[in-house]
Amino acid sequence: MPIRKTLAIARKETQSYFVSPIAYVVALVFVSLTGYFFVDAMSSDIFPEASVNSYTGRSIFILALVGPLLTMKLLAEEQKLGTIELLLTSPVRDWEVILGKFLASLTIFGSALALTLVYVVFLFAFGNPDLGPIVTAYVGLFLFGAGALAVGLFTSALTSNQIVAAILSYGVLTLLTIIHLAADQVDGAMATFLNELSMVSQFEDFTRGILNLRSVIYYVSMIVVFLFLAVRALEFRRWK
Amino acid sequence: MYSRRNHRQSFNFLNFRFTKGLSPLLVGDSNILIEAIGLSKYYGRAVGIENVSFSIVKGEIVGLLGPNGAGKTTVMRLLTGFLAPSEGTARIVGHDTAEASLEARRRVGYLPESVPLYADMTVRQYLNYMGTLHGLAGAPLRSQVEETIETVQVSQFIDTLINKLSKGYRQRVGIAQAILHRPPVLILDEPTAGIDPAQVIQTRQIIRSLGTDHTVLLSTHILSEVSMVCDRVIIMNDGHVVADGDPSELAKGLAGTSRIQTQIRGPHEEIARALASVPGVRQVSREANQAEAVVNSYSIEVEQGKDVSEDIAKMVVGNGWALLRMQPDLLPLERVFMHLTEEETLADS
């Protein structure tokens, strides 16, 4: 049954995250920085706001780093150690391998993100926040992070060097994060296109409490496209 | 790795000459479990292997022999579906490894050369994981893991982390994952490389015992291993098959003749005349310094393919002499190997 194999891969990868320091370090850095952003916003003398906007807007730039760090080893290490040979000669489809590994990285990322819910608890304890924007912001963060993980998994399939994989995916994610800045330099349809392509532009509605279907489709498409590219990268190994 | 060139027809006669005995041409197709038909793999302009063809029938243990860079690992990677061929077809139990890759992969157990394992897992976790990938679950998975660890004798390390195991035991865990799902075909890439002599012997015994239930293709560059473990040997050099057959047949075939060493008690001149008159005997030579000996030692050169041992035995007994010893004097496999691989290199130059 395909799903059983996918889940077996996901479970194995999730367990292996816990025996290496990378998951702990990434979670610690993510939670610490978002915590700093939260405290920084709450201690503002000007106009403290009972919302999560204060840290979600800045957190997406951390996610552009968290994605590559969590995914860099997933396929690069298999290639370096040679375990990819056993994985790809067992009766498992390439997409099952990719999906299993993606689910594992999503589990770790989701857990780190869940830790930040403690800030929401504080908001409710000491303020009267609007639940809607908080929910949409977390949906947005989750989709943004999942997109970053998909990019990272794709670049991890391209090389046996984890550092190269991380740098490649960080480059792609940086480009997709700041590409809307290039929209200022052009006009018309191209400007619209570059704006629509930007992960930051697509994130804005989520922070405003709007669950924009177009933005959801953007992130889901991004995940599907990069996972598909990762599958093709594995297939390409057989033919090169 | 070497530059791409045309396949050398001049050496094809070796394949023809040595492919006998268990030749797949002589058996039904359903008996062929491993099949390579005109397999080639090119890496850009460089040739990995070129026009490699052979078949392996059910129950055979075949050794793939060749110097480093001969293309053994490439052949194995093509047969296991890890690589796709540039030309030709690889089949496992009739399933094309490129067209019906999953079906083929279900029927293969594979041990890659570097024995890649997940060091952060225990032996049990690792075998459970590999078993699940091969479609096992629940009670069958548990029972097959238990049986397999008994077979490869790693029961005492079942809950030990793989990174704590010696190389020999890691090798066994590698073999365990290959046989765990009971595949009809086993492909083992240098299964005894880098382990100590005692473990080499044990690993060979395990492989030999696996041969009763599996069809095995193993690569090695240890020539004695082929003689000890394999029913048949395929010799590769520079990406081509240069010989294929029974190890002792290869030695005979290379010589063009075979030789028999014998000891007979009786009158020398009459014995030599009688031996020379046996059909198939080309030449009889008596070992030196035996002028006055009653027990005479002879080296008898026999035409290729002729079995004269029974005729010689009858002749000796019929004349009332005593046959003290008779054994074939074959070329050692090392010489066959060196001859074939050096001949190829000379032809290239």
CATH number of B256-331: 3.30.70.3190
pLDDT digits 0-9 by tens, A143-183: 999 999 999 999 999 999 999 999 999 999 999 998 888 88
- Residue intervals in chain B for CATH 3.40.50.300: 2-252+337-348
C-alpha–C-alpha distance, residues A233 and B344, integer Å: 37
Q: What is the DSSP string of B138-161?
A: HHHHHHHHHHHHHHTT-GGGTTSB
For residue B116, list chain A residues with Cβ-Cβ distance below 8 A. Answer: 81-86
Substitution target in A85, A99, A101 with the highest count of B β-carbons within 10 Å is A85
Q: Which helix (H) or strand (E) holds B108?
A: strand B108-111
pLDDT at B20: 33
pLDDT at B17: 34
**Can you name the CATH fold of B2-252+337-348?**
Rossmann fold (3.40.50)
- Identify the burial level of B11 via C-beta atoms within 10 angstroms of its C-beta, where 0-12 means exposed, 13-18 middle and 19 or more buried: middle
SS3 A123: helix
A20 and B110 in contact by Cβ < 8 A? no
Q: Quote ipTM for the complex.
A: 0.89
Nearest CA in chain B to A83: B116
- Model pTM score: 0.80
C-alpha–C-alpha distance, residues A137 and A51, integer Å: 10
pLDDT at A45: 59
pLDDT at B13: 32
In angstroms, what is the C-alpha Rg of chain A?
19
C-alpha–C-alpha distance, residues B97 and B92, integer Å: 7
**Tokens matching residue B181:** 């799902």
Q: Under 8 Å CB-to-CB from B337, ≥6 apart: which residues?
A: B65, B223, B235
A8 and B77 in contact by Cβ < 8 A? no
**Tokens matching residue A117:** 């819910």
Q: What angle do CA B293, B294, B297 make, to 5 degrees?
A: 75
SS3 B95: strand
User: What angle do the packed helices A199-207 and A131-158 form, to 10 degrees?
Assistant: 160
Q: What is the pLDDT along chain B (349 residues), one digit of tens a residue?
A: 334 433 333 333 333 333 333 333 333 467 899 999 999 999 888 999 999 999 999 989 999 998 888 999 999 999 999 999 999 999 999 999 999 999 999 999 999 988 999 999 999 999 999 999 999 999 999 999 999 999 888 999 999 999 999 988 999 999 999 999 999 999 999 988 877 888 888 888 888 888 778 899 999 877 778 878 888 999 998 899 988 988 777 766 655 567 788 989 888 888 989 999 998 888 888 876 555 567 888 888 888 767 888 899 999 999 999 999 888 776 566 666 766 766 555 555 4
Nearest CA in chain A to B105: A91
User: What angle do the packed helices A94-115 and A213-239 form, to 10 degrees?
Assistant: 140
Q: Looking at the partner chain, which of B117, B134, B177 has a beta carbon nearest the beta carbon of A91?
A: B134
Contact indicator for B235, B65 with CB cutoff of 8 Å: yes
Model confidence band, residue A199 (pLDDT cutoffs 50, 70, 90):
very high
Q: How far is the alpha carbon of B305 from chain A, nearest alpha carbon, in Å?
A: 42
- Residue intervals in chain B for CATH 3.30.70.3190: 256-331
**Tokens matching residue B245:** 């057959």
Say how many CA atoms lie within 13 Å of B96 toward its Cβ: 10
